[in-house]
Amino acid sequence: MRMSSDRLVLCLVILAVLTGCRGSAPTKATLVTEEVQPDESSVLLGPISRSEVEAAMPDWVSSTIEAQPDMEAAFGLADLATNAEVTVFFGSWCSDSKRELSRLWKTLDLVGGEVGFPIRYVAVDRSKTEPSEAVGGREILYVPTFVVERGGYEIGQIIEQSPNGIETDLLTLLSGESSGWISARDDLPIPESLEER
């Protein structure tokens, strides 16, 4: 059976794509693969500010507008003066991170943007192992994870989804009313206090 020159060229292109050989122009198969598996370089990574996240992820801004935090807890956070600090590990690819950070940001906006403790944001990769200098030595199981520390010691974490609203659960950790891991997930082996870990 004789193969036409068009079919021969098509077979060679398919063979080149399957074996990893790439020409100067992208083929249709390469474009489909890129759509199915997004480029990891578009994932935010490392220490980052809220404004940088919002610039890179404009749909998070509309989610912030729609969030409905508890006003009493919001003003409780604004009035709280503490030497604790909060580090938020999140994924720019993660819908839970979008929901929880949007609610936190709406809380901050409602109280004028100022609270009596620092909040740092660290964007992580899908495996939650990079950036290694920020993640190393921490138990980041799910994102977002809000880590509350005082004097270099961890007080607690809010993991993936806050059961009472991020503003409420954050206030209980920062005020010392609670400690340990807090999550709406009921399938985690979460200790009641950090002493059990």
Q: What are phi and psi of 187, to 5 degrees?
A: -105, 10
Average pLDDT of the chain is 78
> Domains in the chain, please, with CATH?
5-36 (no CATH), 40-196 (3.40.30.10)
Both ends of the chain: CA-CA distance in Å? 70
Regarding predicted confidence, which is higher, 28 or 62? 62
pLDDT (0 to 100) of residue 57: 92
Residue-level pLDDT at 187: 84
pTM value is 0.75
CB of 70 within 8 A of CB of 117?
Answer: no
Residue with tokens 């890179």: 56
Q: What percent of the chain has pLDDT over 70?
A: 74
Give the residue-averaged pLDDT of 29-42: 35
Q: What's residue 8's pLDDT? A: 46
On the question of pLDDT at 3 being above 80, the answer is: no
Distance (Å, rounded) from C-alpha 59 to C-alpha 64?
Answer: 9
